[in-house]
Amino acid sequence: MIRTFKASHFRCLENIELALAPDFNLIFGANASGKTSLLEALAYLGRGKSFRGASTANLIQHGAQEFVLFGQVDNDGRHRRIGVRNSRAGLEIRVDGEGGGAAALAEALPLQVIDPEVHNLVAGGPEQRRRFLDWVAFHVEPEHLTAWRRFRRVLKQRNAALRGNSRPAAINSWNAEFVELSMALDASRRRSLEVAKGSLEGYGQGLLGTDLGFDYQQGWKKELALEALLTEGLERDLQLGATQYGPHRADLKIRYDERQARKLVSRGQQKLLASAMILAAAETAQTALERPLLLLLDDPAAELDADSLDRLMEAVAMLGCQVVATSLERAALSIPEGAAVFHVEHGVLSPAGEPVKRPKTL
């Protein structure tokens, strides 16, 4: 968990420093006060990138040259200092004074985000669901990351050969490694999904009151060998300038009953479903890592009625992770006793004393 956090020149946050509570932290403030920016900064420290997909130029405070983030994390008594400095010259990552990559940050500060865009996990294209599944797999099976990186490199090279109109023999020379890594990714994704299944069903019941099913679609025709598909599909790959079959085309299909399907046109229901998936992923990772994750909840009240919001917050409490949540009003969320509360205004944070509890709706 993260104990102290400092950010300077990150979006509207000129210079902030805060001591975080181990369980629940609430940041409240008006529109454009800097709530999402603060969560984005925290997530950047754990991922080396923005969850809003923003470029470095957009993240550096207007008029500044670089932003710096720093955190002290405490995992089971093991203290670590992690830092990120980013300027137009590039990203510099430090973990306990040593240089490293984004994987070192993720290892020190594993986190998940539920923000108002979360419904895209359900309603958007397959890429987000692949990323979701790979994130689970990274935590359940650490070798998944190595295989995933190697696969990405091979895919890039094969696609470059396709676009460069290389001879068929040169393109096909990538096939053996491509197939081997595809099989490895496919197998670890399937196993990880199996491990996460209980949590997915549990949070599906908790948030939507329904049985959810998840079917993994591997990215090529099930009954056919990938090797043969690559050779047979070469003509089309050349036309597309991209490899059409493989785990980079996988998807995670969500199964629900008819009653649920009708409801799932609603944004609020999509948000609940996507949140159930994120909480299940977080629970699976927590169990694998044997330590609590950081969960960033940006404006959880958005799109949800009071009942749904209560269910979401109860599910979050069940997960038992460290939470940093934002809201427009201080009393908009029912938060546990002992939570740390901060008010943010024009990018400046101040502790806000004893929390006010929202009375339960009758």
Ligand X SMILES: Nc1ncnc2c1ncn2[C@@H]1O[C@H](COP(=O)(O)OP(=O)(O)OP(=O)(O)O)[C@@H](O)[C@H]1O
| DSSP characters over 306-359 | HHHHHHHHHHHHHHT-EEEEEESSGGGS---TT-EEEEEETTEEEE--SPPPPP
Q: For the chain, what's the residue count?
A: 362
Q: What is the rounded CA–CA span in Å between residue 12 and residue 188?
A: 41
Per-residue CA distances from 9 to 26, 67, 109, 324 (Å): 22, 5, 21, 20
Shortest separation between residue 36's beta carbon and ligand X, angstroms:
3
CA 209, chain centre distance (Å): 24
Segment near Mg ion (CB under 5 A); pick from 31-39, 92-100, 190-198, 307-315: 31-39
Q: Are 332 and 358 in contact (CB under 8 A)?
A: yes
Cβ closest to Mg ion, residue 35 vs residue 47 = 35
Q: Are 111 and 167 in contact (CB under 8 A)?
A: no
Shortest separation between residue 52's beta carbon and ligand X, angstroms:
8
Shortest separation between residue 258's beta carbon and Mg ion, angstroms:
35
Task: Please list, residue by residue across 206-229, b when 16 or more beta carbons sit within 10 angstroms of its beta carbon and e when fewer do.
Answer: bbbebebebebebbbeeeeebeeb
Q: Residue 262 contacts by C-beta under 8 Å, 6 or more apart in sequence?
A: none
Cβ closest to ligand X, residue 118 vs residue 276 = 118
For tokens 């490899």, name the residue: 243
Q: Please compute Rg for the chain using Cα positions.
A: 22
Cβ closest to Mg ion, residue 35 vs residue 158 = 35
Residue 223: enclosing H or E segment and its boundaries? none
φ, ψ dihedrals at 71, nearest 5°: -145, 145
Q: Which does 139 bind (CB under 5 to 8 A by kind): ligand X, Mg ion, none?
A: none
Cβ closest to Mg ion, residue 260 vs residue 327 = 327
Q: Which does 9 bind (CB under 5 to 8 A by kind): Mg ion, ligand X, none?
A: none
Cβ closest to ligand X, residue 58 vs residue 239 = 58
Shortest separation between residue 15's beta carbon and Mg ion, angstroms:
20
Binding site for ligand X (CB under 6 A): 11-12, 29, 31-37, 58, 60-62, 328
Shortest separation between residue 327's beta carbon and Mg ion, angstroms:
10
Subset of 207-236 contacting Mg ion (CB under 5 A): none
Cβ closest to ligand X, residue 11 vs residue 130 = 11
- Please report how the helices 143-163 and 126-140 are oriented relative to each other, as an axis angle in degrees rounded to 10: 140
Q: Which does 61 bind (CB under 5 to 8 A by kind): ligand X, Mg ion, none?
A: ligand X
Q: Which does 339 bind (CB under 5 to 8 A by kind): Mg ion, ligand X, none?
A: none
Instruction: Decide if residue 37 touches Mg ion (CB under 5 A).
Output: no
Cβ closest to ligand X, residue 20 vs residue 60 = 60
Q: What is the rounded CA–CA span in Å between residue 77 and residue 265?
A: 45
Q: What is the rounded CA–CA span in Å between residue 55 and residue 51?
A: 11
Shortest separation between residue 39's beta carbon and ligand X, angstroms:
8
Cβ closest to ligand X, residue 250 vs residue 295 = 295
Q: What is the rounded CA–CA span in Å between residue 71 and residue 303?
A: 32
Shortest separation between residue 263's beta carbon and ligand X, angstroms:
26
Q: What is the rounded CA–CA span in Å between residue 27 and residue 328?
A: 9
Q: Which does 62 bind (CB under 5 to 8 A by kind): Mg ion, ligand X, none?
A: ligand X
Shortest separation between residue 62's beta carbon and ligand X, angstroms:
4
Q: Which does 32 bind (CB under 5 to 8 A by kind): Mg ion, ligand X, none?
A: ligand X
Instruction: Decide if residue 36 touches Mg ion (CB under 5 A).
Output: yes
Segment near Mg ion (CB under 5 A); pick from 10-18, 36-44, 124-132, 155-163: 36-44
Shortest separation between residue 141's beta carbon and Mg ion, angstroms:
34
Cβ closest to Mg ion, residue 28 vs residue 132 = 28
Half-sphere exposure of 233 (CA within 13 A, CB side): 18
Segment near Mg ion (CB under 5 A); pick from 35-43, 74-82, 247-255, 300-308: 35-43
Q: Which residues bind Mg ion (CB under 5 A)?
A: 35-36
